[in-house]
Structure 1
């Protein structure tokens, strides 16, 4: 696992805390208020995949589902999840497992008598359906989730003053040109960079890597002391575009107890094949590889079958 990927997870866990510590009491008050407005709980005390409730004080291994959701105005549904990444974090083993789930993965949609793309789970039933579908697809609990409106990429990038990325292939997407090499992106171009798919030889896997690259660049700038002058702008974007069942207190507990896991991260991409059903493209995961991955995640979460 590259240092770049390690930073993504570290920044996810600590970005808010860096801002709080760096700016003192005002930022702590503002961050507390922001977390209050973005927090929404799942309708349960624990995942049905757990026998006992999670105990952060004792350092129980936990999981977090990251979702980037397309919530364009005028949509008739709840928005599809363009990005789904599951993290399992084990402070005892001091390690993290990271699973990227392709948006076109064919799954049973939890609560619906249908098979469909996993990205449609959120569109059909929102966060509850998306979380439950991932749980039953991978057969592991999802303890926490962080949902980000994909459209907020633009506002977030602009709020931190733009970003730089290393583009490994030249392409043009939605009339925006992206040369190879180090390029600077404003909000609109960053969104296009993160969304391009069909021009990439690695298709959805290539897009997932660019999305992670954009998130890393944004968070690195957002968590720097120099960005504190833009703190109110950044906080406004968070309040308008992020929802999570994590409280600020839980985030602090995770940072305090679980940050030892950051030095060892293993990334997984689902094995499978592209198929077509009724003229529609799907990604069909290999059942044996999926079962093996599920077992590995259960072991990492220290769950008994």
Structure 2
């Protein structure tokens, strides 16, 4: 486990947790501001029925595979009470391209975890590019699973061009278009359908808010691996200090990067990681009211205030490692449009690893 991966956990899953932790310690006005901020950020999702995923092939239209007989199901024995809970999983078909089926009770538990009891959960992290009069699209999509009892988290970076069937239309499109068509709720549903992992929470950040937050922190330090120019800025290779506008440009470039979305995600992690370190610095306490104000304006989540406190008190210190997963696919132009395509077997691999992580089996 490389040392910087612990920073990734904080940057991906607990961007607000560090700020709230300090806010709790300062008391008084900041405490009141923290409460107001959490209430302002709270935005629940409409309830949606869980639909068993279908890992369709690229050449065939989506169709639901036949259900395996009940006696063919293979369940995993539950763990003892003092061990991390295991999610009973059964496969519909021994074929590795078939999705794993999750029991109804376990779907309900994963979608509605008891954070006071440190139950595992999955969260979708969205960085969106919203403009006046335009809902925009999701620039960044990261599926994060957290199992505090085993101390393990898994983060999957989802390329914005990933080709999936849209739940609302049944047609193929890029996964980042889900936000344009149906906002956060459709983005969550699209990721659930694509990878077969029940999602409990989301956290959405307007990328333009990054400018105000970075400037309030006095800028961020990054270590650029490849020199490039973008949106009027020149970013040489090596370490450099960026203000808010430069950090936004640094985080957005992808077409000049040989790694595409993957390279851009790495740069975004650099910015978030340094921002977290600055928030955690004692000298930042005086800036918390302004930081909290920016958070309330640019961040939305369905985590209730009590659940946020649970994450700070019971989850953050429990996560000792994070596994970073990447989708193995290929670029493909279909009807003149570029997509990142992934096979049914690759979807099954992602689903299997993430469910194992959640169940700690």
TM-score range, shorter chain: over 0.9
Separation (CA, whole Å) in 1 of partners of 2:320 and 2:169: 40
Secondary structure of 1:81's aligned partner: strand
> Which string of whole-angstrom CA distances, capped at 9 and with x for unpartnered residues, describes residues 109-158 of structure 1?
12223211110001100011001111111101110000000111111111
Separation (CA, whole Å) in 1 of partners of 2:20 and 2:232: 38
Q: Is the 8 A contact 1:85 1:99 kept in 2?
A: yes
Match of 1:8 in 2: 8
- Any stretches of 5+ residues in structure 1 without a counterpart? none
Separation (CA, whole Å) in 2 of partners of 1:166 and 1:303: 35
Separation (CA, whole Å) in 1 of partners of 2:300 and 2:3: 27
Q: Is the 8 A contact 1:10 1:262 kept in 2?
A: no
> Which string of whole-angstrom CA distances, capped at 9 and with x for unpartnered residues, describes residues 172-191 of structure 1?
11121111111010111000
Match of 1:262 in 2: 319
Deviation at 1:230, TM superposition (A): 1.8
- Any stretches of 5+ residues in structure 2 without a counterpart? 52-101
Match of 1:55 in 2: 114
Q: Is the 8 A contact 1:22 1:225 kept in 2?
A: no
2:24 to 21, 25, 35: 21
Q: Is the 8 A contact 2:148 2:319 kept in 1?
A: no
Separation (CA, whole Å) in 1 of partners of 2:297 and 2:149: 36
* Equivalences for residues 129-168 of structure 1 within 5 A: 129-168=186-225
> Which string of whole-angstrom CA distances, capped at 9 and with x for unpartnered residues, describes residues 177-229 of structure 1?
11111101011100010001111111111001001111111222123221122
Using the size of structure 2 for normalisation, the TM-score is 0.79
Q: Is the 8 A contact 1:19 1:27 kept in 2?
A: no
Separation (CA, whole Å) in 2 of partners of 1:256 and 1:230: 22
Q: Is the 8 A contact 1:46 1:54 kept in 2?
A: no
Deviation at 1:46, TM superposition (A): 8.7
Using the size of structure 1 for normalisation, the TM-score is 0.93
Match of 1:113 in 2: 170
1:296 to 327, 345, 353: 353
> Which string of whole-angstrom CA distances, capped at 9 and with x for unpartnered residues, describes residues 240-275 of structure 1?
110000122101212333234421210001000000
Q: Looking at CA atoms only, which structure, 1 or 2, has the larger radius of gyration?
A: 2
What is the number of equivalent residue pairs in this alignment?
Answer: 302
Deviation at 1:42, TM superposition (A): 1.0
Q: Is the 8 A contact 2:116 2:307 kept in 1?
A: no
Match of 1:65 in 2: 124
Secondary structure of 1:268's aligned partner: strand
Match of 1:191 in 2: 248
Are 2:274 and 1:271 aligned?
Answer: no
Shift in alpha-carbon separation, 1:44–1:216, aligned structure 2, 3 A: same
Shift in alpha-carbon separation, 1:45–1:128, aligned structure 2, 3 A: closer
Separation (CA, whole Å) in 2 of partners of 1:195 and 1:254: 29
